[in-house]
């Protein structure tokens, strides 16, 4: 069933019923033995949020270095110059993963460590670092899952040709990716081209809250350059073509000899209709088309969702016949980053469109985590993160029913606590809410696999450590391990670490 069709809207309605059922089972006790024997459990991270050491080993500057050092871009005025210093402390961190019983670690390779200026001469020091890191993981029985791009574009490419706004990026990204296949592919068997292209396109080029901070939204105080009505679509199009080019290179030249797989990680908020009206049910489908469908439809079917094509019109780039053929089917698995669920309402006024004039307004849907003054569920720390475990099961069924049940890996799932500087560390380690969160989401994931037949093979908790959270800086703690930012970045296990150890040993 093609997303955007009548059947998909019916699927949304069915999912609402499933959501109610899902809530009823989220408190069940689960164990690793309940999951398929080949199922992979791991933790996740990204280079910019973890590594630090931004001026060591030949690393070049990135758009996030520039952005985070610009006034007013990060809520606590912090930066990731040191982050949590995994560049130096990875042996210690790998032991933490091993001690928990994790099977795998998802991390990203910093493009500017391999090519200091984004292209040109290979930086051997960067290659050596990741070789050592990968070898250390494997020595402890931890399988590496490598993300090639987690938002940290080399600043040199942004300066040279405006980065992802230019088709030149396709060639440069392909060279970077192929270099990684050549240098690390004998040991890395799981590749992810991009992390959250939807977030990158909208936050970076629509509303300007992430690097490179471009937008044209009326009254926006933090960005002046850009065009919110066109640039998110151009960036997303170039990302999809880059993914397809890299996937083609890997499959033609490396997959058979190296024996690996290649996919992409997409961010997905699950949406449920704010009311049972036809308008809100249709708006819910459009919201999903403009989020998940924006990327997964081309990757599965070779074209953008029909709702996007009709509503965006000539501002939405088109695929040539050859490009469509290259993009379609260009993945071995779908990575899903899922955290929360929102309500969706039909946008019956044009006020939002006039103010925003962007990809968000184009959907004609208004998505929020509350009805009136009542929130959809208990909130974590982030203003966007509400704890709705049933959304996991509903989302997995939506992907199964609308996209032919592709192989899925949950490449991120987790929740944050506030960084309360007045709270003693001993108290901060008591993260019962996080335990309930993972138990609830994993329970619903297991039901989706065992009861509904969803094709899911892995789950990666975000995140191993508390870390630097982009525009939220150090105000948010997602880690299973507490990082003491005031005492040499010491790591302390939260109660959720013991929960995972018990779960994974069961």
Residues 113-154 have pLDDT tens digits of 999 999 999 999 999 999 999 999 999 999 999 999 999 999
Residue 180 belongs to some domain of the structure = yes
**Which pLDDT score, from 0 to 100, does residue 449 have?**
98
Residue 358 belongs to some domain of the structure = yes
Sign, CA torsion 12/13/15/19: positive
**Which pLDDT score, from 0 to 100, does residue 10 have?**
30
Length in residues, the chain: 506
Phi, psi for residue 141 in degrees, rounded to 5: 75, 20
Q: Are strands 104-108 and 40-44 parallel, antiparallel or unpaired?
A: parallel
Tell which phi-psi region holds residue 350, choosing left (phi > 0), alpha (psi between -120 and 50) or beta.
Answer: alpha
Residue 63 belongs to some domain of the structure = yes
Q: Is 92 among the residues known to form the active site?
A: no
Task: Report the alpha-carbon distance of residue 180 to residue 385 in Å, rounded.
Answer: 34
DSSP letter string over 128-181?
A: HHHHHHHHHHHHTTPEEEEEEESS--BHHHHHHH-GGGSTHHHHHHHHHHHHHH
CATH of the domain at 190: 3.20.20.80
For the chain, counts of helices (H) and of strands (E): 21, 17
Task: Report the alpha-carbon distance of residue 248 to residue 52 in Å, rounded.
Answer: 32
Nearest to 43, CA basis, from 109, 93, 110: 93
- Could you tell me the end-to-end alpha-carbon distance of the chain, in angstroms, rounded to an integer? 38
- Cβ–Cβ contacts within 10 Å for residue 37, how many? 6
Element (H, E) at 408: strand 408-413
**Which pLDDT score, from 0 to 100, does residue 112 have?**
98
- Cβ–Cβ contacts within 10 Å for residue 359, how many? 27
**In order along the chain (506 residues), what is the average pLDDT of each group of 10 residues?**
34 36 48 97 98 98 98 96 98 98 99 98 98 98 99 98 98 99 98 98 96 84 85 98 99 98 98 98 98 98 98 98 98 98 89 63 95 96 98 98 98 98 96 98 98 98 98 98 98 98 95
Residue 14 belongs to some domain of the structure = no
**Which pLDDT score, from 0 to 100, does residue 20 have?**
34
Residue 466 belongs to some domain of the structure = yes
Please, are residues 316 and 304 in contact by the beta-carbon 8 Å criterion? yes
Residue 313: cis peptide before it, omega within 30 degrees of 0:
no
Task: Report the alpha-carbon distance of residue 398 to residue 400 in Å, rounded.
Answer: 5
**Which pLDDT score, from 0 to 100, does residue 475 have?**
98
Q: Report the greatest alpha carbon distance in the chain.
A: 60
pTM for this predicted structure: 0.93
Tens of pLDDT, residue by residue over 310-355, are 999 999 999 999 999 999 999 999 999 999 999 999 997 755 554 5
Q: Which residues contact 37 (CB under 8 A, 6 or more apart)?
A: none
DSSP 386: B
Residue 171 belongs to some domain of the structure = yes
Phi, psi for residue 405 in degrees, rounded to 5: 55, 55
Identify the active-site residue in 51, 158, 323, 412. 412
Residue 19 belongs to some domain of the structure = no
In the chain, the number of structural domains is 1
Please, are residues 213 and 156 in contact by the beta-carbon 8 Å criterion? no
Residue 105 belongs to some domain of the structure = yes
Task: Report the alpha-carbon distance of residue 180 to residue 176 in Å, rounded.
Answer: 6
Q: Is 196 among the residues known to form the active site?
A: yes
**Which pLDDT score, from 0 to 100, does residue 223 have?**
76
Please, are residues 301 and 324 in contact by the beta-carbon 8 Å criterion? no
**C-alpha 360, offset from chain centre:** 18
Sign, CA torsion 376/381/385/386: negative
DSSP 38: T
Q: Which ranges of 26-123 does DSSP label H, i.e. alpha helix? A: 47-50, 63-68, 86-100, 111-114
Element (H, E) at 294: helix 294-301
Nearest to 359, CA basis, from 204, 130, 169: 204
**Which pLDDT score, from 0 to 100, does residue 14 have?**
33
Identify the active-site residue in 51, 143, 158, 196. 196
What contacts 24+ positions apart, CB below 8 Å, involve 180-185?
A: 180/109, 180/114, 180/146, 180/148, 181/249, 181/250, 181/253, 181/254, 181/258, 182/254, 183/127, 183/130, 183/131, 184/109, 184/130, 184/131, 184/134, 184/146, 185/254, 185/258, 185/260
Give me the domain span that covers residue 391: 32-505
**Which pLDDT score, from 0 to 100, does residue 103 have?**
98
């Amino acid at each position: 069933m093609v997303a955007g069709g009548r059947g998909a809207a019916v699927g949304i309605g069915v999912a609402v019923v499933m959501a109610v059922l899902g809530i009823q089972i989220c408190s069940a006790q689960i164990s690793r033995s309940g999951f398929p024997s080949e199922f992979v459990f791991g933790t996740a991270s990204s280079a910019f949020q973890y590594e630090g050491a931004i001026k060591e080993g030949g690393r070049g500057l990135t758009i996030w270095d520039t952005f985070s050092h610009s006034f007013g871009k990060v809520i606590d005025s912090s930066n990731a110059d040191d982050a949590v210093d995994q560049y130096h402390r990875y042996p210690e961190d790998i032991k933490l993963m091993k001690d928990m019983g994790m099977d795998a670690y998802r991390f990203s390779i910093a493009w500017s460590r391999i090519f200091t200026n984004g292209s040109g001469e290979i930086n051997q020091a960067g290659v050596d670092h990741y070789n050592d890191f990968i070898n250390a993981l494997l020595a402890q029985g931890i399988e590496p899952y490598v993300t090639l791009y987690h938002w940290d574009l080399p600043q040199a490419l942004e300066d040279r040709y405006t980065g992802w706004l230019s088709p030149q990026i396709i060639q440069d990204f392909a060279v970077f990716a192929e270099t990684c296949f050549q240098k690390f592919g004998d040991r890395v068997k799981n590749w992810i081209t991009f992390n959250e292209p939807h977030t990158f396109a909208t936050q970076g080029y629509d509303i300007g809250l992430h690097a490179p901070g471009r937008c044209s939204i009326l009254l926006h105080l933090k960005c002046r350059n850009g065009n919110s009505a066109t640039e998110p679509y151009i960036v997303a199009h170039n990302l999809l073509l880059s993914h397809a080019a890299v996937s083609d290179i890997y499959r033609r030249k490396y997959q058979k000899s190296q024996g690996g797989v290649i996919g992409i990680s997409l961010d997905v908020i699950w949406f449920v209709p704010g009311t049972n009206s036809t308008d809100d049910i249709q708006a819910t489908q459009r919201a999903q088309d403009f989020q998940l469908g924006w990327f997964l439809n081309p990757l599965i079917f070779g074209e953008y969702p029909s709702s996007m094509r009709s509503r965006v019109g000539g501002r939405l780039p088109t695929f040539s016949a050859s490009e469509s053929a290259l993009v379609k089917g260009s993945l071995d698995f779908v990575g899903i980053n899922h955290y929360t669920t929102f309500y969706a309402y039909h946008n019956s006024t044009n006020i939002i469109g006039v103010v925003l004039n962007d990809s968000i307004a184009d959907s004609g849907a208004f998505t929020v985590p509350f009805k009136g003054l009542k929130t959809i569920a208990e909130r974590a720390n982030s203003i966007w993160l509400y704890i709705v475990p049933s959304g996991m099961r509903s989302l997995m069924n939506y992907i199964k029913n609308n996209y032919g049940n592709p192989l899925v890996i949950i490449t991120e799932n987790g929740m944050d606590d506030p960084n309360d500087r007045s709270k003693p560390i001993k108290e901060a380690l008591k993260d019962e809410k996080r335990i309930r969160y993972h138990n609830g989401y994993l329970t619903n994931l297991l039901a989706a696999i065992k009861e509904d037949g969803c094709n899911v093979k892995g789950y990666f908790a975000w995140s191993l450590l508390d870390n630097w959270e982009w525009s939220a800086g150090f105000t948010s703690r997602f880690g299973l391990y507490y990082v003491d930012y005031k005492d040499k970045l010491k790591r302390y296990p939260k109660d959720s670490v013991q929960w995972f150890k018990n779960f994974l040993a069961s």
